[in-house]
Structure 1
Amino acid sequence: MISEQDALKEIEKLCMDMDLSTQTIIPDLQKYAQELVRWQKVKNLVSRETLSEIWSRHFLDSFQLAKHIDPNRGIILDYGSGGGLPAIVLAIAFKQTDLKVHLIEANSRKCSFLRHISRTLGLNCTVHDVRAESFVLPENVYVGTITARGFTDLSSMFEICMPHFGVDSVALLQKGRGYDEEIAASKSNWSYDIATFSSVVAPDSVILAISGLKQR
C-alpha cells in the first residue's frame, strides 16, 4: 500500500495533470479528514482499521476517478455513499465547476454527516436519504457519471442503476480481485462496453468504466 505522504503527492500530481487547484482541494481534503475522524466515533463512517490510511486507502482511491470524469456532462450519481467516498472527494475535486453530485445513502446517521461536510466545505451536493432500489431521480436531471465503491456486485448494480443510465452515461465502478467473475456472471443478462483501468492504490484493484448498458 502506498504511504500517506506519497498519496498526498499523487493527488497533487493528479491536480496538476487536470489543471485543478491544489490550493483549494488539499485544504478541503484535510478538513474532510479531520471531520471523518471526529464523526467516526459515533457514525462508523469507515472501517476503524483504515483511519490511519485515510489519504492512501480512501482519498487517493476516490480522487483517481476524477481523471475519467467530464464535469460538463450531467451530474454524478453515487450509490451507497457511506462516509462520502468517492462522492465527497469528487465534489471537492470539481468544486470550482458547475458539476453537481447526488449521494444516495440509506443510513440516516451517515446522511447527517454527508450533509454536514457538504455544508462545511460549500460543496455542490444533494444527499438522498433513501435505499438505492427506491431512489427516483428528479425530472430533467441527466446522469453523466455513476459511481459506487464497495457497494454490490455488477449484476445487482446494473439492476439498480439502469433506470438512471442515459445514452452517454458512464459508470465508474471500483473493484478488487474477482471482478472478472462478476463480469462473466453479468453477461447473461446485460450487454455493455467496458474499459478497465488499473488502480493507483492497489495492484489487484481496478476501475471499470461501463458504457452503453442495455438489458438483454
Structure 2
Amino acid sequence: MTDTIAAVEAILPVSRETGERLERYVALLRKWQPAQNLVSPNTLGQIWTRHVADCAQLVAMFPDTRRWLDLGSGAGLPGLITAILLADTDGAVVHCVEANQRKCAFLRTVIRETGAKAIVHEGRIESVLKRWSEPVERISARALASLADLLDLSAPVLAAGATGTFHKGEDFEGELAEASKSWSLDLIRHKSMIDERSSIVEICRAERRIV
C-alpha cells in the first residue's frame, strides 16, 4: 500500500487546509531528518502510516479534548500532529516539552509554517513540570519512557486532574506489572487503530502506593 495522507483520512476526516498543513509537516520532517535524525531512518518510507496516522488517532479517539501537554515532543509526534489537526479549533493548544535545543528549533519551525496550535517549552520534563501552572486536559507521550517512568514524570499534572494518554507497544503488560508495584491505577486500554500490537493507554487515575 502506498504511504500517503490516505492513512490519516482512513481514521479521521481532514479538511483541505489541514491536509496541506500535514503535507508541510512531512516535507519539513524529511528536510530536517538528515541533520537531526528526528525519526528512525527505517521508517521514512512509512511516515504517513507509522508516524502521522499513528499520532492522529489521539484526536480521533478524544475529539473533545482541547488542552494537551506533550512530553518529550522530539519530532512533534504526537504533539505537533495533534496541534495541526486542532489548528482551526477555538481554544485548542498543545504544550510541547522538549529538552533538545535543535529539536525545539524544528518544532518552532513547524509551528510557524503550519499555524499549528502549539507552544514549545524548552527544558527537561522534570524541571518544566515542577513549575507547571497551565490548565491541561490530557498528557501525551510516544516512544519516550516506560509506563512507570511516564507516571513519575507526569505525576504533578496528573494530580491536578489531567488524564494520561500514552502510546504503548506489545510489551505493555510487562510495563503495567512493573508500574503497578509503585502505583494504584485506573486505566483504559484502547486498541490502536494503526497497529494491532499496540495500544493507547488512558490513565484515568494514578495514586502512588505507600510502601
Deviates more, 1:171-180 or 1:64-73: 64-73
Identity over the aligned pairs, expressed in percent? 32
1:4 is matched by which residue type in structure 2? D
Deviates more, 1:26-35 or 1:200-209: 200-209
Unmatched 5+ residue regions in structure 1? none
2:81 to 67, 78, 89: 89
Q: Provide the C-alpha distance between the structure 2 equivalents of 1:91 and 1:186, rounded to a whole number of angstroms.
A: 29
**Closer, same or farther: CA 119–138 of 1 in aligned 2, 3 Å:** farther
In the TM superposition, structure 1's runs of 4+ consecutive aligned residues that sit over 6 Å from their partners are none
Query: 1:136, CA displacement in angstroms?
Result: 3.2
1:33 paired residue number: 26
Unmatched 5+ residue regions in structure 2? none
Query: 1:68, CA displacement in angstroms?
Result: 2.9
- Describe the SS at the equivalent of 1:104: strand
Q: Provide the C-alpha distance between the structure 1 equivalents of 2:208 and 2:52, rounded to a whole number of angstroms.
A: 33
2:155 is matched by which residue type in structure 1? M
1:145 paired residue number: 138
2:21 is the alignment partner of 1:24:
no
RMSD of aligned residue pairs (Cα, Å): 1.8
Q: Provide the C-alpha distance between the structure 2 equivalents of 1:30 and 1:151, rounded to a whole number of angstroms.
A: 25
May I ask how many residue pairs the two structures share in their alignment? 208
Query: 1:13, CA displacement in angstroms?
Result: 3.9
- Describe the SS at the equivalent of 2:201: strand
2:77 is matched by which residue type in structure 1? L
1:78 to 54, 64, 70: 70
2:107 paired residue number: 114
Q: Provide the C-alpha distance between the structure 2 equivalents of 1:133 and 1:168, rounded to a whole number of angstroms.
A: 18
Query: 1:200, CA displacement in angstroms?
Result: 2.0
What is the TM-score with the length of structure 2 in the denominator?
0.91
Q: 1:99-156 CA distances to partner (integer Å, 9 max, x unpaired)?
A: 1111111111000000010011112211111111211366652110100000000111
2:163 is the alignment partner of 1:162:
no
Query: 1:29, CA displacement in angstroms?
Result: 0.6
